[in-house]
């Protein structure tokens, strides 16, 4: 059944994939954008303008769109610095509150929001389900702030009585426009042989192609249920596996092995953590309950295709 969908983040990496998928399924899409010039060429039914951090502007924009479903794909992660992380934390906390309140006022029945699958604490097995505890006690203040912001987003989306909330915990995004693409920061470093591996590279990454992130959002829009779902591919991979494999695909030399302490000094705590201790995410619940399947079930084929270029 066709639904009126308000998409916040329509001009982003995921949003641009999601717009044609939603419209292709017969939904009417209104994009909420902060800068209409960024929406040039975006084939949506309507545009409303608001900064997500401006509560009155969000309220009047959402009220004018009268959506049945609100989709939240807002981040500021295109800026991969501390400032990007801090703004993203604000979008997750304040932006989510603004959207949920406005959605309830406008009479929307559902809200679907983007979260991350790698905020879990690195305890237990290598691949964790949705009930695993989050990493609130991360030793890095920036990462524990991210985890708290993610938890607050999820609480706001799931904990509002008048609306059904569904949280999509995305794995590590790859595909055009992402950090892992050959022209993104990580892909380019791997391709130049400049992405060192720690001696113990047992950190697990659950990858997700951006098109599969978007198709999960379509499944979430069309579902009637709520809750938290990991959305990731079928092949969680240790850094010791995926980094050398991606280097081979890109025709790069094998990655240099260095002590963990050196990785942290060179690339920061988060990269060291991701490569040594991070856990992957199991996607069985999304498959069973949302009926979602990744079109690219393995990063091996997805990154191989990316490495061949346009």
Ligand X SMILES: NC(=O)c1ccc[n+]([C@@H]2O[C@H](COP(=O)([O-])OP(=O)(O)OC[C@H]3O[C@@H](n4cnc5c(N)ncnc54)[C@H](OP(=O)(O)O)[C@@H]3O)[C@@H](O)[C@H]2O)c1
Residues that bind ligand X (CB under 6 A): 9-15, 34-35, 38, 51-53, 74-78, 91, 116, 170, 173, 177-179, 184
* Comparison of 178 and 276: residue with beta carbon closer to ligand X: 178
* Comparison of 12 and 165: residue with beta carbon closer to ligand X: 12
- From the list 309, 305, 285, 307, the residue with the least C-alpha distance to 295 is 305
Q: How is residue 128 annotated by DSSP? A: E
Distance, first Cα to last Cα, the chain: 35
* Comparison of 90 and 155: residue with beta carbon closer to ligand X: 90
Minimum distance, C-beta of residue 259 to ligand X, in the bound complex (Å): 25
CA 69, 15, 17: angle at the middle one, nearest 5? 110
Minimum distance, C-beta of residue 282 to ligand X, in the bound complex (Å): 18
* Comparison of 82 and 254: residue with beta carbon closer to ligand X: 82
Q: Which residue is nearest to ligand X (CB)?
A: 12
Minimum distance, C-beta of residue 33 to ligand X, in the bound complex (Å): 6
Positions of E strands within the chain: 4-8, 28-33, 46-49, 69-72, 110-116, 127-128, 164-170, 172-174, 197-198, 204-205, 207-209, 227-231, 237-238, 257-258, 280-281
Name the one residue in this structure whose structure tokens are 């009585």. 161
How many angstroms separate the CA atoms of 124 and 121, rounded? Answer: 9
Does residue 275 sit in helix, strand or coil?
helix
Minimum distance, C-beta of residue 95 to ligand X, in the bound complex (Å): 6
SS in 3 state form for 145-188? HHHHHHHHHHHHHHCCCCCEEEEEEECEEECCCCCCCCCCHHHH
Minimum distance, C-beta of residue 162 to ligand X, in the bound complex (Å): 23
* Comparison of 37 and 251: residue with beta carbon closer to ligand X: 37
* Comparison of 35 and 131: residue with beta carbon closer to ligand X: 35
Minimum distance, C-beta of residue 6 to ligand X, in the bound complex (Å): 12
Q: Please answer whether residues 32 and 3 qualify as being in contact, where contact means their C-beta atoms are separated by less than 8 angstroms.
A: no
Q: How is residue 141 annotated by DSSP? A: H
Minimum distance, C-beta of residue 244 to ligand X, in the bound complex (Å): 21
* Comparison of 173 and 201: residue with beta carbon closer to ligand X: 173
* Comparison of 14 and 216: residue with beta carbon closer to ligand X: 14
- From the list 256, 120, 280, the residue with the least C-alpha distance to 202 is 280
Minimum distance, C-beta of residue 91 to ligand X, in the bound complex (Å): 6
Q: Please answer whether residues 235 and 290 qualify as being in contact, where contact means their C-beta atoms are separated by less than 8 angstroms.
A: no
């Amino acid at each position: 059944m066709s639904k009126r969908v308000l998409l916040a983040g329509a001009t982003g990496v995921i949003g641009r994939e999601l717009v044609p998928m939603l419209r292709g399924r017969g939904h009417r899409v209104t994009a909420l954008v902060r800068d209409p010039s960024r929406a040039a060429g975006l084939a949506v039914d309507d545009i409303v303008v608001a900064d997500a951090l401006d509560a009155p502007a969000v309220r009047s924009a959402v009220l004018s769109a009268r959506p049945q479903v609100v989709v939240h794909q807002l981040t500021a992660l295109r800026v991969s610095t501390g400032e990007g992380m801090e703004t993203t934390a604000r979008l997750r906390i304040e932006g989510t509150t603004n959207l949920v309140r406005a959605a309830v006022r406008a009479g929307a029945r559902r809200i679907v929001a983007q979260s991350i699958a790698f905020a879990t604490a690195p305890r237990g097995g290598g691949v964790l389900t949705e009930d695993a505890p989050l990493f609130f006690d991360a030793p890095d203040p920036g990462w524990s702030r991210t985890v708290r912001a993610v938890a607050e987003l999820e609480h706001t989306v799931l904990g509002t009585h008048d609306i059904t909330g569904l949280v999509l915990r995305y794995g590590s995004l790859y595909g055009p426009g992402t950090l892992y693409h050959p022209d993104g920061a990580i892909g380019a470093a791997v391709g130049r042989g400049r992405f060192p591996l720690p001696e113990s590279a047992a950190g697990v990454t659950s990858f997700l192609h951006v098109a599969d992130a978007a198709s999960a959002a379509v499944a979430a829009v069309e579902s009637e249920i709520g809750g938290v779902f990991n959305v990731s591919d079928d092949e969680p991979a240790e850094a010791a596996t995926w980094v050398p494999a991606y280097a081979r695909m890109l025709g790069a030399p094998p990655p240099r092995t260095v002590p963990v302490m050196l990785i942290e000094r060179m690339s920061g705590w988060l990269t060291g953590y991701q490569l040594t201790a991070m856990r992957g995410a199991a996607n069985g619940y999304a498959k069973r309950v949302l009926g979602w399947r990744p079109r690219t079930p393995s990063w091996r084929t997805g990154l191989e295709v990316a490495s061949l270029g346009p």
